[in-house]
Amino acid sequence: MANSRVTTSQKSVRFFFQLLFWIPVTAFSLLLVYNTLPYFSFNKGFSFIQERSILFQGSLYNACFYIHIFAGVVCISTALIQFSRYILKKSKTIHRWSGRLYVFVVLFLGAPTGLYMSFFAKGSFWERMLFMFMAIWWFVTTYYGLNTILKKNVLAHIILILLSYSMSFTAVTFRIYHIFFFALDWGQLENYELSLWISVIGNMLFAEYIIFRQSRKYLRSFTI
Amino acid sequence: MRSLIFISAALMVAAGIFGFVDYKKKEQSKEFKALYQEEKPVVQQPAPEIISSPAPVIAVKETSEETVDNTKNTVSKKAKKGNHKRIKYSQFSRADIEEPAPPVKELQ
B6 contact residues in A (CB cutoff 8 A): none
Top pLDDT among A126 and A224 is at: A126
Q: Given A28, A116, A178, which is nearest B97 (Cβ)?
A: A178
User: Is this complex scored with an ipTM above 0.90?
Assistant: no
Is B2 in the A-facing interface, judged by CB distances under 8 Å?
no
Q: What's phi and psi for B86, nearest 5 deg?
A: -95, 130
Contact A112, B14 (CB under 8 A): yes
Test A35 with B36 for CB contact under 8 angstroms. Answer: no
DSSP state of B90: G
Q: Given A54, A115, A188, which is nearest B19 (Cβ)?
A: A115
Is A28 in the B-facing interface, judged by CB distances under 8 Å?
yes
Question: A159 exposed, middle or buried (CB, 10 Å; 0-12, 13-18, 19+)?
Answer: buried
Q: What is the mean pLDDT of residues B9-16?
A: 96
Instruction: Say what the pLDDT of residue B33 is.
Output: 83
A56 contact residues in B (CB cutoff 8 A): none
Cα A181 to its chain centre, rounded Å, is: 21
As a whole number of angstroms, the distance between CA A32 and CA A38 comes to 11
Instruction: Say what the pLDDT of residue A147 is.
Output: 93
As a whole number of angstroms, the distance between CA A72 and CA A117 comes to 14
A107-123 burial, b at 16+ Cβ within 10 Å, e below that, comes to bbbbbbbbbbbbbbbbb
Tens of pLDDT, residues A159-209: 999 999 999 999 999 999 999 999 888 888 889 999 999 999 999 999 999
pTM for this prediction:
0.81
Test B11 with A28 for CB contact under 8 angstroms. Answer: no
Is B10 in the A-facing interface, judged by CB distances under 8 Å?
no
pLDDT above 60 (res B75): no
Test B98 with A189 for CB contact under 8 angstroms. Answer: no
Q: How many helices (H) and strands (E) would you count in chain B?
A: 3, 0
Contact A175, B94 (CB under 8 A): yes
